[in-house]
Amino acid sequence: MSDIRSFYPNAEQGEDYTVQCIEKLRSDFEFDFERTILATSVCSDEIIRSATNFRDHVALGTPFQLGGLSGFPFTGETGFKAFAGHIPDDGFAIILYGPHIGISNSDQPGMVIRSGQMLESTCCGALMGVVNSFENDKMHEFDEEYDYQQWKITEQLYSSRNDIIKNNQPLIAATDKMFERIDHRIKALLDKTRDHFKEKTIALVGGIIVNTDHGSPDWFEEREFEVHSF
Ligand SMILES: [Zn+2]
């Protein structure tokens, strides 16, 4: 069993976190989960599906997917406007967002053993690719046309490359920086599209998703919790 809190001191098991968050939204913000839709801005990696279980608590639990590689909200203004148009009348939405990182039972940040596999593989592979490109000075190897999302997340972290590669845990540093970029972009997109969210209440739930070896619970470290009524 890996020691998640040695890397993420405020992390909680994903299911425990979800229940606490749902309870807080119900009691403090009067969320009606029969009139609530879920959106995510998380990495494309299928391993993330198990990290939290918000989908089990809300009426419209199949999430609108705002994100792409590493959790950056690639669907942009068009995605936010479309999502806004799907919220139940006078209803509520939860936007769950953030990057993810694997921590294997061998306490290796950036690695997990996946279902059906014997050996550890990288997680988040996209962010690991960014770190490797910074370490090897190969930032320009990603093709803007045919590898757009990887190119874009590399561009987003480029100004932080020295802080990342000098850190003794470069992937953890890159994950922290990526959270800041995602958080900033989600808030900017919400602000740009705010007219589409009239009469709606939106919870922003941001953090680091910590994936573990297949069969072990996943974790979540909350970095942002805000509720906006428009
Ligand atoms: Zn990923």
Q: How far is the CA of 76 from the centre of ligand 1 (A)?
A: 19
Q: How far is the CA of 30 from the centre of ligand 1 (A)?
A: 33
**pTM of this prediction exceeds 0.75:** yes
Residue 137 CB neighbour total at 10 angstroms? 10
Q: How far is the CA of 167 from the centre of ligand 1 (A)?
A: 20
Q: How far is the CA of 109 from the centre of ligand 1 (A)?
A: 13
Distances (CA, A) of 28 to 16, 20, 95: 18, 12, 17
- Cα 33 to Cα 147: distance, rounded to the nearest angstrom: 38
218, 209 Cβ separation under 8 angstroms:
yes
The confidence score (pLDDT) of residue 125 equals: 97
Reading the chain (230 residues) residue by residue, the pLDDT tens digits are: 678 999 999 999 999 999 999 999 999 999 999 999 999 999 999 998 767 789 899 988 789 999 999 999 999 999 999 999 999 999 999 999 999 999 999 888 999 999 999 999 999 999 999 999 999 998 788 999 999 999 999 999 999 999 999 999 999 999 999 999 999 999 999 999 999 999 999 999 999 999 999 999 999 999 999 999 98
Q: Which amino acid is at 38?
A: L
SS3 state at 39: strand
Q: How far is the CA of 45 from the centre of ligand 1 (A)?
A: 5
The secondary structure of residue 110, as a DSSP letter, is: T
Q: How far is the CA of 55 from the centre of ligand 1 (A)?
A: 20
Q: How far is the CA of 140 from the centre of ligand 1 (A)?
A: 20
The secondary structure of residue 103, as a DSSP letter, is: B
- Which DSSP string do the residues of 179-205 spell out, in sequence order? HHHHHHHHHHHHHHTGGGGTT-EEEEE
Q: Which amino acid is at 168?
A: N
Q: Which two tokens stand for residue 15?
A: 């299911």
Provide Rg for the chain, Cα atoms.
17
Q: How far is the CA of 134 from the centre of ligand 1 (A)?
A: 17
Q: How far is the CA of 57 from the centre of ligand 1 (A)?
A: 25
30, 6 Cβ separation under 8 angstroms:
no
Length of the chain: 230
The confidence score (pLDDT) of residue 48 equals: 87
Q: How far is the CA of 43 from the centre of ligand 1 (A)?
A: 5
